[in-house]
Amino acid sequence: MSDTGPNQLQAAYWTSAAGPQWVQQQAMFDHMLGHFGHAALKVLAAQAGEHIIDIGCGTATTTLAIADAVGPTGWVIGADISTTMIDAARQRASASPQATFVVADAQTERIAPVDQPADAAFSRFGVMFFADPVAAFTNIAANVRTGGRLAFVCWQHEQDNEWISLPAGIMRQFTPEPVLPPRNAPGPFAFHDRGRLGEILSAAEWHDVLIEPFSAPTTMGGGLGLDAAVTQSMSTSAGQILRNQVDEATFAAATKAVRAALSERMLGGAVTFPGNVWVATAHR
């Protein structure tokens, strides 16, 4: 992975800023994203013996699930732009020989062996960060055999995801700058617009594109109570952006305000919001 490529800012962010926190809080993120990942894995429907690439695989939660599904006669390659994520993924997957990993920018780099294109490409929330999404999905298609498939999950608009819009709205009171990336820019909500996402996939030569809404509870902090929910909320992309904009005292004041708001949303010992995503499928 070159540090001068089109996604070098994302590489730096996911390696040095967000990566270490994501690795540390993996259990919380898995708890939060589990329902959505399962929905995408269900439509992927990986079969024994298949070859699959997991784009933006992070610390390998879904790569390991796919490894189980394809079994010893198949393989899955987890690709991620972050060395921090891939180091953690390799450690977690050391007992699964059919899962291997590569540090790669999925927009520009080859992932599957040239002589053995994958049967399918998959992602759980790992495809919204490309500088050029059409180029990225074209490159992903080039890694998949003709007739092969694509299945991924991405967030709908932040306003339809209160787990981020509530804390981000509060953080915004502590800084003159936005705490979420501009509309359609690389970031967790880059594909909020279903029509635009469909156009991107079609322009990248994916066919039979289907983008379905899916909703499920989004629990913050692994359901381990208010402190954990606050910790995770302040580690989201909005929290990371705020941290870069303000001094420590202001960040602490914002954290206190977010804590007060989340405390009002506690139910049965957990902070849970409705979560809304798109589950996208297509064929090559």
Ligand X SMILES: C[S@@+](CC[C@H](N)C(=O)[O-])C[C@H]1O[C@@H](n2cnc3c(N)ncnc32)[C@H](O)[C@@H]1O
DSSP H helices in 96-190: 133-142, 162-171
- For residue 159, the cross-strand partners are none
In the complex, what is the shortest distance from the CB of residue 121 to ligand X, in angstroms, rounded to a whole number? Answer: 12
Whether residue 81 contacts residue 87, with contact meaning beta carbons closer than 8 Å, is answered with: no
Pick the closer one to ligand X by CB: 124 or 192. Answer: 124
Q: How many residues bind ligand X (CB under 6 A)?
A: 22
Cα–Cα distance measured from residue 127 to residue 103, given in angstroms and rounded to the nearest whole number? 15
- Which one among 23, 28, 32, 33 touches ligand X, defined by CB under 6 A? 33
CA dihedral 157, 20, 81, 88 (to 10 degrees): -120
- Residue 25 as a binder of ligand X (CB under 6 A): the answer is no
Instruction: Look up residue 27 and give its DSSP letter.
Output: H
Which residue from 156, 160, 158, 157 is spatially nearest to 274, judged by alpha carbons? Answer: 160
Contacts with ligand X in 124-153 (CB under 6 A)? Answer: 124-126, 129-130
Pick the closer one to ligand X by CB: 36 or 174. Answer: 36
Cα–Cα distance measured from residue 188 to residue 218, given in angstroms and rounded to the nearest whole number? 15
Contacts with ligand X in 175-234 (CB under 6 A)? Answer: none
Applying CB under 6 A, the span of 78-86, 112-120, 260-268, 269-277 interacting with ligand X comes to: 78-86
The two three-digit tokens of residue 138, written as one number: 């074209």
Applying CB under 6 A, the span of 100-108, 197-205, 213-221, 276-284 interacting with ligand X comes to: 100-108
DSSP H helices in 207-284: 226-233, 237-245, 248-263
- Residue 119 as a binder of ligand X (CB under 6 A): the answer is no
Contacts with ligand X in 42-71 (CB under 6 A)? Answer: 56-58, 61
- Residue 80 as a binder of ligand X (CB under 6 A): the answer is yes
Q: Which residues make up the interface to ligand X (CB under 6 A)?
A: 7, 10, 14, 29, 33, 56-58, 61, 79-82, 85, 105-107, 124-126, 129-130
